[in-house]
Structure 1
Amino acid sequence: MKRNLLKVSFIAALAMANLGLAQEFPIDNLNPRDHRSINAFENPKDTVSTFEKMKVRVGGAFALQFQAIQHENNATPVLNAAGVNTNQLYDIGNNFNLATANLDLDVALYDGVNLHLRTFLSSRHHNETYVKGGYLQINKLDFIKKDFLKDVMKYATIKFGHDEINYGDVHFRRSDNAYVTNNPFVGNYLMDAFATMVFAEVYYRRDGFIGMAGITNGRLNQTANGGTSPSLYAKLGYDKQLNEDLRVRLTGSVYNTAHTQRLDFYDGDRAGSRYYFVMENTAATSSANFRSGQIVPDFKNKLTSFMINPFVKYKGLEFFGTYENASGRNFAETDRRTWNQYAAELLYRFGNNENLYVAGRYNGVDGKLATGEKVDVTRFNVGGGWFMTKNILTKLEYVNQKYDGYAPTNILYGGKFNGFVLEAAIAF
Structure 2
Amino acid sequence: MKIKLILLLCLVTSIVKAQEQLQYFRPNDMRGINVFETSKADTIPFTGLKVKVGGNFEMEFQALRNFNTATPMTKTGFTGNVNSLEPLTNGFALPMANLNVDAQLEDGIRMNITLYLASRHHEDTWVKGGYIQFDKLLFLKSDVINEIMKSVTIKVGQFDVDYGDQHFRRSDGGNTIYNPFIENYIMDEFATEIGAEVYVHTHSGFFIMGGMTNGELDATVVAGTKIDSATNKANQYDPAFHGKIGFDKQVNKDLRVRITGSAYTVHSANSSTLFGGDRTGSHYFNVMENQNIANGTTITSENDYSPFSGRLNPGFSEEVNTAMVNLFLKYKGLEFFGTAEDAKGRAITEVDQRKATQYAADLIYRFPQGKENFWVGFRYNTVTALLQGYTSNITVNREAGSLGWFITKNIMAKAEYVNQNYQGYPAANILNGGNFHGAVLEASIGF
Shorter-chain TM-score bucket reads: over 0.9
- How do 1:29-428 and structure 2 match up within 5 A? 29-82=24-77, 83-145=79-141, 147=143, 149-207=145-203, 208-226=205-223, 227-283=236-292, 284=294, 287-351=304-368, 353-372=371-390, 373-428=392-447
Structure 1 residue 146: Cα displacement: 5.6
Q: Structure 1 residue 148: deviation in Å?
A: 5.6
Q: Which runs of 5+ in 2 are unaligned?
A: 1-9, 224-235, 296-302
1:336-392 per-residue CA deviation (whole Å, 9 max, x = no partner) reads: 100000000001000261000000000000010102141010000001100000000
Q: What letter is aligned with 2:252?
A: N
> Which amino acid letter does the alignment assign opposite residue 270 of structure 1?
R
| CA distance in 2: counterparts of 1:243 and 1:102, whole angstroms | 36
Q: Contact conserved, 1:195 with 1:267, CA < 8 A, in 2?
A: yes
* Structure 1, gaps ≥5 residues long: 1-14
**1:190-241, Cα deviation, whole Å (9 max, x unpaired):** 0011011102000000121110000011100111123201111000000000
Percent identical = 45
Please report how far the alpha carbon of residue 134 of structure 1 lies from its aligned counterpart in structure 2 after TM superposition: 1.3
Question: What amino acid does structure 2 have at the position aligned with 1:302?
Answer: E
Task: Name the CA distance, whole Å, in 2 between partners of 1:49 and 1:288.
Answer: 44
Give the counterpart letter for 1:254 in structure 2: A
The CA distance in 2 between the partners of 1:416 and 1:363, in whole Å, is 14
Deviation of residue 23 (structure 1)?
3.8
The one-letter amino acid of 2:180's match is: P
Query: Could you tell me how far apart the structure 1 residues matched to 2:61 and 2:247 are?
Result: 39
Task: Please state how far the C-alpha of 1:282 moved relative to its aligned partner.
Answer: 3.8
1:32-64 deviations in Å (ceiling 9; x for gaps): 111111111111212355111111011001000
Which shows bigger deviation, 300-309 or 350-359?
350-359
* Residues 1:19 and 2:19 are matched in the alignment: no
- Cα distance in 2 between the residues matched to 1:195 and 1:96: 28
Q: Is the 8 A contact 2:193 2:216 kept in 1?
A: yes
Report SS of the residue matched to 2:426: coil
Q: Which amino acid is the alignment partner of residue 284 of structure 2?
A: Y
Superposed CA offset, 1:14-40 (max 9, x none) = x98763464432201011111111111
Q: For residue 20 of structure 2, give the secondary structure of its aligned residue in structure 1.
A: coil
Name the aligned partner's letter for residue 385 of structure 2. Answer: G
TM-score by length of 1: 0.94
Greater mean deviation of Cα atoms: 217-226 or 241-250: 217-226
Give 2:277's aligned amino acid: G
Task: Report the 3-state secondary structure (helix = DSSP H, G, I; strand = E; otherwise coil) of the residue aligned with 1:136.
Answer: strand
Partner Cα separation in structure 1 for residue 385 and residue 245 of structure 2: 26
User: For the residues of structure 2 that align with 1:281 and 1:112, how far apart are their CA atoms?
Assistant: 50
Deviation at 1:112, TM superposition (A): 0.6
Partner of 1:8: none
Contact 2:20 2:51 in 1 (8 A): no
Matched position secondary structure for 1:149: helix
Q: Check conservation: 1:26, 1:32, Cα contact below 8 A.
A: no
Contact 1:191–1:365, Cα closer than 8 Å, also in 2 = yes
The answer (yes or no) to whether the contact 1:91–1:282 under 8 Å persists in 2 is no
> Is the 8 Å Cα contact of residues 88 and 282 (structure 1) preserved in structure 2?
no
**Cα distance in 2, alignment partners of residues 191 and 425 from structure 1:** 23
Taking structure 2 as the reference length, the TM-score comes to 0.90
Alignment partners' CA distance in 2, 1:345 and 1:255: 23
In structure 2, C-alpha distance between the alignment counterparts of 1:282 and 1:31, rounded to whole Å: 38
CA distance in 1, matches of 2:388, 2:196: 32
Q: Deviations over 1:64-118 (max 9, x none)?
A: 0100000000111121113432111111110000111110011000011000111
Residue 298 of structure 2 is matched in structure 1 by none
Q: Is the 8 A contact 1:141 1:147 kept in 2?
A: no
- Which moves more between the two structures, 260-269 or 239-248? 260-269
Whether the 8 Å contact between 2:22 and 2:44 is mirrored in structure 1 is: no
State the secondary structure of the residue aligned to 1:353. Answer: coil
Q: Counterparts of 2:43 and 2:288 in 1: how far apart (Å)? A: 51
| One-letter amino acid matched to 1:308 | V
Distance 1:212 1:188, change over 3 A: same
Q: What value does the CA root-mean-square deviation take over the aligned residues?
A: 1.4
- Report the Cα distance in structure 1 between the residues aligned to 2:414 and 2:249, rounded to whole angstroms: 29
8 A Cα contact 1:141 1:148, kept in partner: no
Query: Cα–Cα, structure 1 residues 140 and 338, in superposed 2: closer, same or farther, change >3 Å?
Result: same
Q: Distance in 2 between matches of 1:56 and 1:69?
A: 41
The whole-number CA distance in structure 1 between the counterparts of 2:404 and 2:326 is 23
Q: Distance in 2 between matches of 1:21 and 1:221?
A: 37
Asked if the contact 1:16–1:22 (Cα under 8 Å) also holds between the matched residues in 2, the reply is: no
| More off after superposition, 48-57 vs 66-75 | 48-57
* Aligned partner of residue 143 in structure 1, secondary structure: helix
**Counterpart secondary structure, 1:19:** helix
Aligned pair count reads 414
Match of 1:11 in 2: none
The question of whether the paired residues in 2 share the 8 Å contact of 1:160 and 1:200 is answered with: yes
